[in-house]
Chains A and B, each alone.
Chain A
Amino acid sequence: MNTFKVHTMAEMTAEGKAPDVLFWVGCAGSFDDRAKSITKAIARILHHTEVSFAVLGAEESCTGDPAKRAGNEFLFQMQAAANITVLNGYGIKKIVTGCPHCFNIMKNEYSELGGKYEVMHHSQFIATLIADGKLTLADDHPFKGKRITFHDPCYLGRGNGEYEAPRSVIEALDAELVEMRRCKSKGLCCGAGGAQMFKEAEKGNKEINDERTEDVLETKASVVATGCPFCNTMMTDGVKSAEKSNTVDVQDIAEMIAKAANILPE
């Protein structure tokens, strides 16, 4: 499989070029090993479909979402101000991100602070690529006919009303999409939001991701599709602790599409 180079905004600008799209990677996508493979899948898809894109690289910084949801408005606004300065400095108009938390905060909360961009979640972007016929999937890809369920990320679904884009991507896989008992606006959180990802859960009688994993297992799906790096971690852990890792795969929709389009390196 061919290799290619992901350009940073700094490199592009130095060459006097301006990409159409900024791919906002996010912290999980940059540092977490599992999430990095989602990031690479998104980058592959963008490259394969000849989207003119760049990343910020070392100039990207946390959007401030976990700080804000944990009550540290000050730290959030400092992060927002710094990021907006960078984004506006490059004249960014359109952002695609693989993280619903980055998506939500840049779409809804940055605008009042001077950062106005068209922000898309990668499921929305991939859905348009498919609709525009820019992505052709292999005839015998591994997800064909598979029973797949989608776990709605709270900040994509309930928060921003996007339930259809990720589902349309799964449907494009020619798979059997099954819904969990609690789905779409009634979907159960994976347990990571609101800065929970960075602390132990409060005392209770169960972990939230275990509760959610039960919903997944109920559907008898062999793949649970996610659209958020944090959901991905939580669901992977949940499936593992239910000892179902052999039968249930946790995959981001970008990874699934990249595999189905046969554009990942061997």
Chain B
Amino acid sequence: MVGTVPKLQVRGLAISYGGKPALSGVNLEIRENEIFGIIGPANAGKTSFLKSINRMDDFTVGMKVEGSILFEGKDVRDWRNVYALRQRIGVVFPLPVGLPLGIYDNVALAPRLSGIRRRSQLDDIVERCLTRAALWDEVKDRLNSLGSLLSGGQQQRLTIARALSQSPEILMLDEFSIAVDPVTTMRIEDVLRELRQELTIILVTNLVQQARRLADRTAFFLDGSCVEVGDTEDLFMGKVQSSSTTDYITGRFG
């Protein structure tokens, strides 16, 4: 089921903020239809890595990215239109951000921005995305109430629905469970397992066991560099190149 075609190829990636390096020397491949886990302690450069992929550095003051990130063979920085790139790479942030709009409008925002006006088409997208994010049943009777008034867990699923609204090919999640209760976390994990059929998922997580449950392959980031990448099972079975990986996985630090 897991393809072998690289969806993303990262070569010699280095990221710095105002001259201060945050991440360097990252070389890895992310394959189509896999869940690619990234684990590591705080300040390892995980979030910066995600930001560089959808070129949030364009809008982030002082952030500098070097090296290459090939998305289907083409460097993301060669995309003339960064907005088109971001439509194909969805992101979910650590803290749920329900925009102060109705639930319906939250999900319909991106399709509307890209020019979809027909109500029936928007209805379809909204229902499909909310269903896939396992939120539809809870909100279908109050689609006009405010997204920002939902509970934290619901808002996070709303965020996922929103990220799915443009049918991205890659979905990046940055520690999505940080503000979410365990039950919702499990529901979202089920959602991600299903989504894997259709898209590629990059999962940054601070829960080592979550990576184990979900990720096909996992990368371990530490102090601004990528220590190693391997099949998740291998890493957890102790087949590692660096002892710090095992130390982190088994909870000896981090």
B and A form one assembly: no
